[in-house]
Amino acid sequence: MPTPRTYNTQGIVIKDMQLGDADRIVTVYTPDRGKLRAVVKGARRTQSRKGGQLQPLTEVRISIVIGSSLDNITEVETVNSNRGLREDLGLLSQAIYVAELVDGFTADGAVNPREYELLASILAALQVVEDTEQLMRYCEVQLLTMSGFGPEFGQCVECGANLDPQDHLLSCIAGGLVGPECKVSTGDPLIHLSMNSIKVLRFFQDVGLAEAQSLPLTEEIKSEVKRVLAAYLAYVLDREPRSAGFVTQVAAMGKTDSGGPLGSTST
């Protein structure tokens, strides 16, 4: 039987780019086909219905015709516009950051339904939770874990020994914590990580979104976890995410609501 020339799927638009005078290439992350790129003919014309529906961060159902180089999107139906993300600059910056991380961690065609579910749930949660900063840290940890990049927080990455509950050093190169017996022998640059922050990071690896959001954290722990994850992500991606600076700039303008209950962690 001949190979079908068309297929249908559902996904979230994670980025787009101009093509010629009127067209766009959109990158869509799907649960059944992974990350795909396709052309939207005439998307940049003001009367284009498809172009308006295929904005970044929108969840859509699409019909696609297979092309010789790039596939073409012929039909679009909006599933969830995630409109609330576009009505707040702080939320928009964080959502763009999440989309960039997903794009950076996924290869074209690599199917990971759990990662798709994470992306959809994070975009939805951004519009309702109080502490979006904590949500971002959970998202980062989960994306690293689902993509196979760790980090290892339970055992020494040099010797494999179980780590005692105390402060340790993180090696971005080795992909996890280095125990006290091995920190002298390793030549890697190491980052100090407190015991409580290690517990938080382990917790974020193992629980769902609701549990992660309910964990009360001090500003000190939030700051340390953010700093360490930023360094680790920059190493894994071989660059700092471009949108990270946008998030920081918007937060400095006071537009990001990062409130929420604070307290001492008991993990």
Number of separate helices (H) and strands (E) present in the chain: 9, 8
Mean pLDDT of 26-48: 84
Tell which wins on pLDDT, 71 or 254. Answer: 71
The answer to whether residue 260 scores a pLDDT higher than 60 is no
According to the model, what pLDDT value does residue 267 have?
A: 31
pLDDT tens digits for 65-108? 998 888 999 999 999 999 999 999 999 999 999 999 999 999 98
CA dist., res. 94 & res. 102, Å (int): 13
According to the model, what pLDDT value does residue 67 have?
A: 84
Tell which wins on pLDDT, 44 or 216. Answer: 216
Tell which wins on pLDDT, 181 or 35. Answer: 35
The answer to whether residue 256 scores a pLDDT higher than 70 is no
Mean pLDDT of 148-175: 94
DSSP H helices, 106-147, are 113-126, 132-146
Residue 128's Cβ-count burial label (10 Å; 0-12, 13-18, 19+) is exposed
SS3 84: helix
Mean pLDDT of 5-31: 90
Do 78 and 228 touch, CB atoms closer than 8 A?
no
Tokens 């995630």 belong to 82
According to the model, what pLDDT value does residue 128 have?
A: 95
For the chain, what is the mean pLDDT? 88
The answer to whether residue 116 scores a pLDDT higher than 50 is yes
- Could you give the domains of the chain? 6-81 (2.40.50.140), 84-252 (1.20.1440.120)
pLDDT tens digits for 122-137? 999 999 998 999 999 9
CA dist., res. 165 & res. 197, Å (int): 11
- DSSP letter string, 143-201: HHHHTT---B-SB-TTT-PBPPSS-EEEETTTTEEE-TTTTTT--S-EEEE-HHHHHHH
Mean pLDDT of 60-68: 91
How far lies 84's CA from each of 22, 80, 92, 97, 123, in Å?
Answer: 28, 11, 9, 16, 10
**Tokens describing residue 208:** 């769902």
Indicate the pLDDT class of residue 186, thresholds 50, 70 and 90: low
Whole-model pTM? 0.87
According to the model, what pLDDT value does residue 266 have?
A: 35
CA dist., res. 72 & res. 39, Å (int): 5
CA dist., res. 123 & res. 55, Å (int): 14
